[in-house]
DNA sequence: GTAAACAATCTTGCATACAATAATTTGATT
DNA sequence: AATCAAATTATTGTATGCAAGATTGTTTAC
């Protein structure tokens, strides 16, 4: 069997965390996971070490692994950084855009339009991700692109909540529209500002949401 | 023995990579490392998985782990991102500066001045790191701060090379001086621009260096 | 002499076994 | 009955063992 096992486990557990299948604060029992996935403890441990390194899981010595609970404040911090690097990607993209990039962005944007006007927030969620990834790719900075994808992924559960609020999908799409215009006009600073705002808004809304609901 | 063993191994191997003790492209043999550190293969493997997750090591199925060789282009990309998030930290710091932050920055800056005028580039390297970390902390965004520290650390070997070039220490210090001024004046945009340039310069210089020396 | 194929060896990947520490339960004493 | 302590149980951390794939070297055929 190939090394894919531990990678597979890593992805499965990571997905479980992202999709809130494993709740923040929850303890991840090694033997439990091992029996569940039909493997021994060893690859489970190796996967958990990886998640620990990424920052999704905390390993307390001799006391097992727990899913990290970022808390509203830290989530806000992550949105703050996301807004900035997303803006950076947009700025670079506006300057470095190739025809292929243009086509990919337009295609994703068109799909967003479709799912947006259909009011299908789940489909929009998927198309939105493709749209943003197309911009990351257009930055032609692979390292930045990877960082963006990783952070985007980590903020996924919180962003998903956002799309449920009234009119958010429509608003999001119109923001995309302005972004596309700036990108295609080669206006780096406007693309940066628009994308930064586009993301910050999500962060601030989220912050409002939790700070009124669950007080810590 | 506590779980600290694998953490220790992780740090040791990571330091080995950063300090070029393990060269890029080098294969990391599990039994070799195990005997070297006096442990079994298991904790070594777990440490390697963590380094893999961080992106310092690549694990090729059934073919072992090798130290990742970023290559000049990717290093340039990392500097590009470093410049941006460093600028972001500066921008936030200028707005959120507390008295304690001010004191920490001034202290590190004073030490930089000392080691700079003494022409001690090794000491300056250390003080420079403290100076930058003080700015990260002053951003009052812990997530950003951690990202900055991690990336700063990864770029360490390339930055170190830079300080050896003629007059770089003195130039670096005078750039710091302007940064401090902007920070203390609360001028967020100037702080951002200055820090961005301060870091980009290193990236560009590095790029010049390698692209003339070793062609890939 | 060179190239290809086969075999021997080495290394990784996973499982199991053993040791050490934390959690829990039970029993005794106040 | 309640609390504290000791012992038992459960779970983590590390080592070792075994199987499967990769690497290397040798031999044979052309």
Between CA B161 and CA B139 the distance in angstroms is: 28
A134-149: pLDDT as tens digits: 999 999 999 999 999 9
Across all strands, nucleotide nearest A42 (CA–C1'): C14
- The answer to whether A6 CB sits below 7 Å from nucleic acid chain C is yes
Between CA A92 and CA B56 the distance in angstroms is: 26
Question: With a CB-CB cutoff of 8 Å, which residues 155-214 of chain B face chain A?
Answer: none
Q: What pLDDT score was predicted for residue A216?
A: 39
Rounded to the nearest angstrom, the minimum Cα separation between B145 and chain A is 10
B162-210: pLDDT as tens digits: 777 778 899 999 999 999 999 999 999 999 999 999 998 776 766 665 5
CB contact under 8 A, A62 and B88: no
Rounded to the nearest angstrom, the minimum Cα separation between B65 and chain A is 12
| Covered bases, chain D (protein CB within 7 Å) | 11-17, 20-23
Overall residue count recorded for chain B in this entry:
216
A34-65: pLDDT as tens digits: 999 999 999 999 999 999 999 999 999 999 99
pTM higher than 0.85 for the full model?
A: yes
Q: What's the Å distance between residue B44 CA and nucleotide D15 C1'?
A: 12
Task: Say which residues have a Cβ less than 8 Å from residue B111's Cβ, sequence separation at least 6.
Answer: B127, B130, B131
Q: What pLDDT score was predicted for residue B200?
A: 85
- The answer to whether A41 CB sits below 7 Å from nucleic acid chain C is yes
- Give the residues across from A113 on adjacent strands: none
User: Is residue B184 a contact partner of residue B96, using CB atoms and an 8 Å limit?
Assistant: no
Between CA B120 and CA B204 the distance in angstroms is: 23
Q: What pLDDT score was predicted for residue A3?
A: 57
A11-41: pLDDT as tens digits: 999 999 999 999 999 999 999 999 999 999 9
B50-67: pLDDT as tens digits: 999 999 999 999 999 999
CB contact under 8 A, B61 and A143: no
Q: What pLDDT score was predicted for residue B72?
A: 85
């Amino acid at each position: 069997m190939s090394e894919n096992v531990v990678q597979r486990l890593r992805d499965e557990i990571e997905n479980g965390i992202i999709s809130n299948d494993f709740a923040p604060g929850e303890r991840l029992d090694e033997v439990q996971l091992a029996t569940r996935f039909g493997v021994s403890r060893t690859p489970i441990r190796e996967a958990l070490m990886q998640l620990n390194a990424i920052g999704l899981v905390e390993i307390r010595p001799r006391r097992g692994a727990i899913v990290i609970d970022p808390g509203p404040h830290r989530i806000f911090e992550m949105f703050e950084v996301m807004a900035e690097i997303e803006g950076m990607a947009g700025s670079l993209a506006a300057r470095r855009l190739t025809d292929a990039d243009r086509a990919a962005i337009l295609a994703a944007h068109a799909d967003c339009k479709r799912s947006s006007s259909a009011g299908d927030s789940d489909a929009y969620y998927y198309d939105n991700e493709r749209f943003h990834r197309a911009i990351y790719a257009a930055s032609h900075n692979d390292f930045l692109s990877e960082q963006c994808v990783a952070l985007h992924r980590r903020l996924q559960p919180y962003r998903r909540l956002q799309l449920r609020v009234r009119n958010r999908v429509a608003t999001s799409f119109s923001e995309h529209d302005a972004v596309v215009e700036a990108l295609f006009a080669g206006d780096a600073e406007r693309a940066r500002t628009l994308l930064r705002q586009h993301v910050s808004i999500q962060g601030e809304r989220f912050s409002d949401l939790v700070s009124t609901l669950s007080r810590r």
